[in-house]
Amino acid sequence: MKSSNSRPSRVATNPFVHELKFTIPQAIQIGLMSVTVFPVRLLLVASLMLLAWPFAFVASLGRSDFVVEPPSWWMSAIDLCLRVIMRAMWFCGGFHWIKVKGQRAAPTEVPILAVAPHSSYFDAIPVTLTMCSIVGKLESRSIPVWGTLISYVRPVFVFRSDQDSRRKTVEEIKRRALSGGAWPQIMIFPEGTCTNRSGLILFKPGAFIPGLPVQPVVLRYPNALDTISWTWQGPGAFKLLWLTLCQPHNPLEIEYLPVYTPSDAERGDPALFANNVRKLMARALQLPLTDLSFDDREISLSRGPLRIHDYSGLLEFNRLACRLRPRAGRTDKVLEEQARRARKLQADGLSAEDFAQFLDLPLTDTLARVHSLFDQRGDGLIDARLYVIALSTAHRPSQSLETLKLAFEMYENEETGDVLRRDLAAILEIMLGVKNVELSSLFSSLKGPHRATITYDELCHFIEHHPSFVEDYLNFENHPRHRPKSNGRHKDD
């Protein structure tokens, strides 16, 4: 599968992965703090959170989710008490001095604050300092104690079980943003998920759809050991809490950048608006832009014996494929039906028009771009089987053996059940996201260097007994064994 020249061939650092490595002095410090300071800090943090709960509970009684009550002295008093208690809680957790740069704009001037990078539940600190509203999932409301504190800041809840949730969330953000400052400011983390702060991933457009001025806010945790980042692959929430409370001091910098007023073009194109704000924030943070999004995490974190080695091409394919058909329409049943039809075609080349007919879709620019990704020979014809393999890999990236089985069903000889050596190479190139797969070591190990075919059962049995199958028995461009090994250390370690 070919990649567009406009995209990088590889992503240098996966933002959804965080590895922690300790020096001997750091390990000794954590051991000592664990039996001395950590229990005291944990008790104080828990006590202050419990102390804040009744204030938030009383303030939330009988309050509407759709109407803002006029300000009153007693609500102002509760708000002040909560700010003091929460600041004391973070102080006890080791966030002794929080450096704030710049000036936060008034709600009447800027209804939305765009905050990045989003890397941890400790990003709640600027929320508790300002008592801004946030966008959060509905399930968080049911968390004991913390759920009441979240409800106090009048969040925009996302109903994930509701298929129309995204539209309703955007409408609610827009309604509040256009209230002229009647509602509290909304603090939105436009990345939509936590990363390791190695770069800024793509922003979701929700904060930028209203087309109103936004104030970018950047967060920095300049600690020597990164115990903050809570990513999809890495230390869990409780381990990070323990390690963070074992640090003598946890520095945090919050910087309010100048208000960003969108141009006419940006008002009409939220994606352009979001990307321009992202570029501005990346410059302030001195971080690179990462061409990944929340929806790309499963592909970039694929696991299994045939995990994706270079996911840049598959990410490009997946974004285009999602434009053709939403993810909801990509099921195992649909894949099996397309595989059955592709098997009948065998190696018959499909033009763009034929490919549109194969998918039962109109021929659009997007469909033509998907078609071009599989035009290996440059003759305007593609093998539909390669498209189905790519679709299955993108749909279930960590179930590589299921995709391999589907591929064998399309390529295998009906009588013998085996596939040709060159066909297996083509299958693996798509599944691994690599080029020029060479299988000599594999077939030599199967005691048949001159064999031309292999069955699914043979290959699965071999993979089962050789967990490092890809690294040890395949060869391709940019193979791991051909590149110098990095130490795998995170930038903040």
* Residue in the block written with tokens 């700010």: 83
Q: Note the pLDDT of residue 9.
A: 39
> pLDDT tens digit string along 166-203?
788 888 898 898 888 888 999 999 999 999 999 999 99
pTM score, whole prediction: 0.84
Tokens of 357: 């007919």
Q: Note the pLDDT of residue 479.
A: 82
Which of the pair, 348 or 228, is modelled with greater confidence? 228
- What average pLDDT score do residues 401-427 get? 93
Q: Note the pLDDT of residue 159.
A: 75
pLDDT at 135 over 70: yes
Domain spans, the chain: 24-291, 297-436
> pLDDT tens digit string along 338-395?
999 999 998 889 999 999 999 999 999 999 999 999 998 889 999 999 999 999 999 9
Q: Note the pLDDT of residue 346.
A: 84
Nearest to 313 by CA among 300, 328, 326: 300
Task: Give yes or no for a contact between 278 and 203, defined as CB atoms under 8 angstroms apart.
Answer: yes
Report d(CA 347, CA 438) in Å as an integer.
Answer: 21
- Which residues are CB-neighbours of 55 under 8 A, at least 6 positions away? 78, 81, 82, 85
> pLDDT tens digit string along 306-318?
999 988 889 999 9
> pLDDT tens digit string along 439-449?
988 888 886 65
Q: Note the pLDDT of residue 328.
A: 55
Task: Give yes or no for a contact between 187 and 132, defined as CB atoms under 8 angstroms apart.
Answer: yes
User: What's the chain's average pLDDT?
Assistant: 89
- Percent helix, strand, coil in the chain, to 5, is 50, 10, 45
- What average pLDDT score do residues 415-431 get? 92
Q: Note the pLDDT of residue 66.
A: 75
Q: Note the pLDDT of residue 347.
A: 82
Q: Note the pLDDT of residue 126.
A: 96
